[in-house]
Amino acid sequence: MTWERSHDRLRAPAGRPPSEGSPVSAPPPPRAGARRRTAATLAAATVAALAATTLASSTAYAEGPEQIVNGTFDDGHAPWWGTANLTLDSSSGRLCTDVPGGTVNPWDAIIGQDNIALVAGESYEFRFFGTATPARVAKALIQLPVDPYTQYLAANPQLSVSGDSYTYTFTSPVDLPNAQVAFQLGGSAEPWRICLDDVSLRGGAEPPVYEPDTGPRVRVNQVGYLPKGPKNATVVTDATDPLPWQLRNATGTVVANGTTTPRGLDESSGQQVHSVDFGRYQRAGTGYTLSADGETSRPFDIGADFYERLRLDALKFYYTQRSGVEIRDDLRPGYGRPAGHVGVAPNQGDTAVPCQPGVCDYTLDVSGGWYDAGDHGKYVVNGGISVHQLMSTYERSVLARTGELWQLRDGTLALPESGNRVPDILDEARWEQEFLLKMQVPAGQPYAGMAHHKIHDNEWTGLPLLPHLDPKLRELHPVSTAATLNLAATAAQAARVFLPYDRRFAARNLAAAKRAWDAAKANPEIYASPADGTGGGAYDDADVSDEFYWAAAELFISTGGKEYKDFLLASPHHTGDIWRDRGMDWGHTAQLGRLQLATLPNLLPDRQRVRASVVEGADRYLATLRAHPYGIPYDPAENTYDWGSNNLILNNAIVMATAFDITGNDRYRAGVLETMDYIFGRNALNQSYVTGYGEVASKNQHSRWYANQLNPNLPNPPRGTLSGGPNSSIQDPVAQQKLRGCAPQFCYLDDIESWSTNELTINWNAPLAWIAAFVADQDNGDARGRLR
């Protein structure tokens, strides 16, 4: 079937068993990042491809028999069960219970019923009435009752004191005689009371249809355009001939007009589209709109100040991701919280963390650093590329002719360290780099000089869960060559970046980098296990030749050492084609080395060829952008968008920005600006992927502490937080319920439970911060590129 909204097209498809006293439902599938999950896990997740909506549908279908036994509680509550910490009471004609405070995970307190029969392909309507005192978000699930607890319906009803009725529909992908209905009620520090009534599950429902609200068919950068930069938009229309367009200012006066350019079918969205170029108009102002084909865009500005704000907001994100320190509310109003994982109960880390059983016989203080994403894990390979790109943002501000170092000066990010005469961006980078140094195996131990791959909980936790309330055992995971080379690369970079500010810290980093390099050469094939994904992402990578190249590049730039130069010149990554259509990421880091060698002073004998190769890569991405109706430098093979596609798109933009710094050619700068149009709303969903930027923007990214969608007492992610964006594989149950068969650009939900499409991570905000600083440095387009 096909789902259609006007001219927008979205392609579509064709708890444990109860034991006496305390049945339990397992946690949802783990949140992880691109390339973190095994093929088997992905296949298992994909089995749950289905469709659901929280809207009730009036159906002409024949209503099926009632599947719930005793859903009205008129005569007791059997066969409903509760976990051991709940006492069920149906004496009022409703099923009520007091939920104890102090539980950690949603599945720590459950009301459920088993042996619910599901028929593959049948659509069901699930209804119930519920109250909560005080108001509370619960979880309503229909799922497989045993591991892997596949969820066929997952909903988060916001229960009120006065009570409401809730209706959901879903289509079962399986024949299952013993599905489980589970209301997960745990995860609250305070006690509360829930009552349920009129619980019903019937087949014969109208198959659910999810239809995203994409707003007007004229798609623009909802934040704004630089006065002297390109200004492009996309119109979704079936018209085959050019259409007139009008640009209006805030008073409604037409200030520019022209005709669209038909572009035909955009395969990434399944839409017929036209392009609009209004770049000749350069007057700064607010509240502009663009009209075409009877529709008017969301408003936008023409100016530059919003990129100055984003430069700071994208970097301020990292302070609230810090582990091991109190987040001060006076520095981030609304985001203050106690220090997480500093050895204070209920935390079991991170000041003396043991290894997984059988891995080592010592403990390490690995406190500090940044939480990787929406979980409490800390990963060296993800931290490596993140801290590298922050330090590279600083290095570019020093070396590029358009760089504005003073915009990153001490005091700009409102950090606890502000006032120490060190640029705030380096203070923030140091917080992570100190953690990476702590992950190095001490002298005298097996694998001395190597780095442990990661540290996280021994089990997955649920949402929401503030870091200081995490009770799980923390464990160091085995060393890996990839993690060790990330440490070598970032420590070598830190050695030169921090030299003007802290010579002792710089020397410490250089020594650690050399030890890591030597250890990696001695152990070149120790790979993270793809099966090591309980409690945290695996981050497995079976090819570390690119990490070797990046580390050698950073060491050569910092030391000029012959060993590193010889390694670079012999590496296939030095002359090979490394410019992937899918972009660079934590698992593909040769590009980082190439960019550094091209832009930072060094005595590499073929440096001019290296610089020319960066320009060639930029030309490739620019050609992709120009050919794309939405202006995206990203055209992955088989038209499948990756997990975290937005960060890959921004990393491709970094290559174009670097080409601008090398050549001064304005076409690369224009490519970067047009890439930001996509991120800020010129896309099929007509929304910005950066929290706080644009009329409609992502705000429910997957996080255990920015969890306002699940707990109104918690905040949404801070301004300047990038969402991962469309992901064709839609591995999480919520996305599977609604997005099966989605065209790539439509494979996204702004839902906190959609961890495969709406994650936030430190390595996704890093390229956003880099690009935001680059664009902010351009002012109004008067500056010329080239490195100093």
Residues identified as active-site? 375, 702, 750, 759
Instruction: Tokens for 647, please give them.
Output: 């960060």
Output the CA torsion 565→567→568→572 (10° steps).
160
Compute φ and ψ for 435, nearest 5 degrees. -65, -45
Measured at the alpha carbon of residue 377, what is the angle toward residues 149 and 549, in degrees to the nearest 5? 115
Output the CA torsion 430→431→432→434 (10° steps).
70
Between the alpha carbon of residue 545 and those of residues 365, 387, 549, 581, 613, the distances in Å are 30, 20, 6, 19, 19
590-599 and 481-497 helices cross at what angle (nearest 10)? 20
Environment class of 611 (CB within 10 Å of its CB; exposed 0-12, middle 13-18, buried 19+):
buried
Identity of the amino acid at 24: V
Q: How far apart are CA 569 and CA 559, in angstroms?
A: 16
Environment class of 294 (CB within 10 Å of its CB; exposed 0-12, middle 13-18, buried 19+):
exposed
Q: Which helix (H) or strand (E) holds 53?
A: strand 52-53
The tally of CA atoms less than 13 A away on the side-chain side of residue 254 is 9
Tell me the H-state helices in 9-168. 39-46
Q: State the distance between the two ends of the chain, measured CA to CA, in whole angstroms.
A: 57
Q: How far apart are CA 69 and CA 115, in angstroms?
A: 10
Q: Are 263 and 273 in contact (CB under 8 A)?
A: yes
Q: Are 481 and 527 in contact (CB under 8 A)?
A: yes
Q: How far apart are CA 135 and CA 469, in angstroms?
A: 21
Q: How far apart are CA 601 and CA 398, in angstroms?
A: 12
Q: Which helix (H) or strand (E) holds 399?
A: helix 380-399
**Rama region for 686: left / alpha / beta (φ>0; ψ in -120 to 50; rest):** left
Q: Are 153 and 93 in contact (CB under 8 A)?
A: no
Between the alpha carbon of residue 427 and those of residues 404, 410, 506, the distances in Å are 18, 9, 13
Identity of the amino acid at 4: E
Helix (H, G, I), strand (E, B) or coil at 771: helix
> Which contacts (CB < 8 Å, 24+ apart) does range 345-352 have?
346/104, 346/469, 346/470, 346/471, 347/467, 347/468, 347/470, 347/471, 347/474, 348/471, 348/472, 348/473, 348/474, 349/455, 349/473, 349/474, 350/323, 350/324, 350/378, 350/455, 350/474
